[in-house]
Structure 1
Amino acid sequence: MAVEVNAATVRRGDQLMIGGQVFVISDLTSMHRGAKRLHFTSGESMTLHPSTILWAARRTDPRIARRRPF
């Protein structure tokens, strides 16, 4: 499932496509002013500022029922 993420909503395990390459987030570090340092399984890292919005692929467990709006 594709979701819009920012520094407040990004999660460990999210997959980001940057420059045609897929990066999987292995760890997150909170920084000052709401920014987060993303550490990827490949060893790279990047800083995600609060105003930056990205799209991420997020795995969901099909066994967990999602609430549907009425």
Structure 2
Amino acid sequence: MTTKTELLLTIRKHCIECCGGSYQEVENCTSESTAAPYSQCALWAFRLGKDPEGPSEARREAGKKLALRKAGKTNA
């Protein structure tokens, strides 16, 4: 199964290739350099290799619980 991180890295690599190998151009991309003029790239929000929405609430809660367990503050 493909992980979220692998998907984001694949998108990042695609964007770098689309922008001629330039990391700077990926950061400056307005998504208008796609094959179809005046269309927006569906990957644009993910071009920097990060999820623009961030972690879900459930994932944040799980992280907090794990941190507490590692700190030895709970037996759960």
TM bucket (normalised to shorter chain) is under 0.3
TM-score normalised to structure 2 length: 0.23
Normalized per residue, which structure has more strand? 1
Q: If you compute each CA radius of gyration, which structure gives the higher value, 1 or 2?
A: 2
Question: Quick one: higher RCO (CA 8 Å, sep 6+), 1 or 2?
Answer: 1
